[in-house]
Amino acid sequence: MNNKMKKALIFFAALLPLALSVYLASRLIPPERAASFVEDASRALVARLKEASSEPAAKTPEQPSSGMQETYSTLVKVLGKEMKAQEVHIQQSPEKIEINLVEKLLFHTASAEITPEGKELLLKVGSALARIDGKRIYVVGHTDNVPISTLYPSNWELSTARACSVIRFLTDKDKIAPNLFYALGRADQQPVADNATEEGRAQNRRVEILIANIPDLESIAAGQGANPSPPPAATEQPAQTPVPSPAMSPTPAPVPEQAPPAAPEAK
């Protein structure tokens, strides 16, 4: 509904009570007071119309930027087969695009080395990400809750290493600027399915590529994080008065021992 139509509806909605008030005034209020009543009602109507005209127009829903829309359209086009097979999931909103890639497309179990099939897939993704303008790219590794004891001591290291592998490939092969990327590892802390089943665990083992601007991470990257509290001021210690050492009395020199008297010489 445009603004002109809205104002017209408000006008008629406000006019109806005025007309009713005039009618009631003519029937119920004495003639000497009717004119004053109608004048007051007219003033109220004018005030209401001024108030309505000053109200801000309702905001239209925000639309994705042309660059984001082009990126989304390209992703859907080049990853259509994988999306149909439920191996890739893509979601779009005005402020972000979220791409979820299941593990089996990119890695072998407990490994952060990208498979040949995974490299082909990331080349498709990179061709779309190259169109990004003014956004950051967050690559987040996720695992299931099964502990590992291989090259990586835990799922935290594995999930982070996988995110780094994807970023390294995209910057090396697709020539996307490295300063656009953030690498994060979430281990098993953000499951999308039940880890009690093999099917659920397979869905949880994934890499998420998020195209957006996240203010908190932006401020950290720019060195504008929360300022640490200044260290407490050092408490000045009162100067200590040196305690004089007691005077040392000279040690008397040892008295040399006297030689015993010589025995009389035998004749």
Return the CATH number at 141: 3.30.1330.60
Q: Does residue 264 lie within any of the structural domains?
A: no
Q: Are residues 151 and 74 in the same domain?
A: yes
Shared domain check, 109 and 16: no
Question: Could you tell me if residue 233 is inside a domain?
Answer: no
Task: Tell whether 257 is covered by a domain.
Answer: no
Strands 88-93, 206-212: parallel, antiparallel or unpaired by DSSP?
Answer: unpaired
Q: In the sheet that 88-93 helps form, which strands lie side by side, from edge to edge? A: 88-93, 96-102, 206-212, 136-142, 181-185
Does residue 179 sit within a domain? Answer: yes
Query: What's the start-to-end Cα distance of the chain, in Å?
Result: 154
Indicate whether 100 and 40 sit together in one domain: no
Tell me: do 162 and 215 sit in the same domain. Answer: yes
170, 217: one domain:
yes
Of the candidates 214, 173, 215, 206, the residue with the CA atom closest to the CA atom of residue 187: 206
Q: Number of structural domains, the chain?
A: 2
112 shares its domain with 22: no
3-state DSSP assignment of residue 90: strand
Ramachandran angles phi, psi of 93, nearest 5°: -140, 170
What is the helix (H) or strand (E) element at residue 210, kind and residue range?
A: strand 206-212
Give the integer Cα–Cα distance in Å for 184 and 137. Answer: 11
Eight-class DSSP state of 114: B
- 70 and 41 inside one domain: no
Q: Same structural domain for residues 129 and 101?
A: yes
Note whether residue 159 is domain-resident: yes
Distance CA 227, CA 149 (A): 38
Do residue 49 and residue 110 come from a single domain?
no
- Please indicate, yes or no, whether residues 30 and 85 belong to a single structural domain of this protein: no
Shared-domain flag, residues 209 and 80: yes
Please compute Rg for the chain using Cα positions: 42
Q: What is the pLDDT of residue 224?
A: 46
Cβ pair 167, 161 in contact under 8 A:
no
Distance of CA 77 to the CA centre of its chain: 28
Structure tokens at 175: 């020539």
Residue 171 included in any domain: yes
Would you put residue 136 in left (φ > 0), alpha (ψ -120 to 50) or beta? beta
Domain boundary among 221, 239, 256: 221
Which stretches of 76-185 are assigned E, i.e. beta strand?
Answer: 88-93, 96-102, 136-142, 181-185
Do 199 and 108 share a domain, yes or no?
Answer: yes
**Residue in this structure with the two tokens 């994807």, named with its chain if needed:** 166
Which residues have C-beta within 8 Å of that of residue 178, sequence separation ≥ 6? 167, 171
Whether residue 123 is contained in a domain is answered as yes
Give the domain range for residue 209: 66-221
List per-residue pLDDT tens for the chain, 267 residues long: 556 666 666 656 666 665 666 555 555 556 666 566 556 666 765 666 566 555 555 555 456 566 788 889 999 999 999 999 888 999 998 889 999 999 999 999 999 999 999 999 999 999 888 877 778 999 999 999 999 988 899 999 999 999 999 999 999 987 889 999 999 999 999 999 999 999 999 999 999 999 987 765 555 545 544 444 444 444 445 445 555 544 454 555 555 555 555 555 444
- Report yes or no on 98 lying in a domain: yes
